[in-house]
């Protein structure tokens, strides 16, 4: 079997796992996409995709970390979330993985709500914090999906043009 075929296959699998990782918090989504695209460029000897597109892809990958952090924290802080709400979001996200697919969406919401409720014992405020945190996570998810599409577009443009 051709050596480059195996590398391309591995690259495709990494990109697909990365795309899944945009939805699944347990996987490093965008870094996996970048690693897969870098592997595909390397398998080709960097003939189609050179250093400039790869630097751009690396910058988009770094930007994804900023987006991830800001979307959740800003969404939570905007509605007055406590540190318990943020911890609740993290716990809810992990617990939600066991109740797929609904757990992915409800876990962070319920985790933030319970965490905030335990902090302040006011259900109305806790509900607002849970929804605000959840909307921040959804905004981050949408931004990360847009980044993945952009990364694939940059790679495809470099490869074909």
Binning the chain into helix, strand and coil, the percentages to the nearest 5 are 85, 0, 15
Domain count, the chain: 1
Predicted confidence band at 41 (pLDDT cuts at 50, 70, 90)? very high
Domain limits at 23?
Answer: 3-160
Supply 132's token pair: 């605000």
* pLDDT reading at 116 higher than 90: no
How far does Cα 45 stand from its chain's mean position?
29
Coil, strand, or helix at residue 148? helix
Instruction: Enter the pTM of the model.
Output: 0.80
pLDDT digits (tens, 9 = 90+) for 45-56: 999 999 999 999
pLDDT digits (tens, 9 = 90+) for 71-105: 767 777 777 888 788 888 888 888 888 888 788 77
């Amino acid at each position: 079997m051709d050596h480059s075929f195996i590398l391309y296959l591995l690259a495709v699998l990494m990109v697909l796992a990365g795309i899944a990782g945009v939805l699944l918090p347990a996987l490093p989504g965008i870094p996996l996409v970048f690693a897969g695209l870098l592997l595909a460029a390397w398998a080709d000897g960097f003939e189609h995709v050179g250093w400039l597109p790869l630097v751009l892809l690396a910058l988009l990958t770094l930007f994804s970390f900023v987006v991830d952090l800001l979307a959740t924290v800003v969404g939570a802080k905007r509605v007055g979330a406590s540190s318990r709400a943020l911890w609740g979001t993290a716990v809810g996200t992990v617990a939600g993985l066991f109740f797929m697919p609904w757990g992915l969406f409800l876990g962070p919401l319920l985790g933030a709500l319970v965490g905030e409720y335990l902090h302040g014992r006011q259900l109305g405020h806790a509900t607002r914090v849970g929804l605000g945190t959840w909307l921040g996570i959804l905004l981050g998810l949408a931004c990360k999906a847009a980044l993945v599409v952009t990364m694939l577009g940059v790679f495809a443009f470099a490869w074909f043009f």
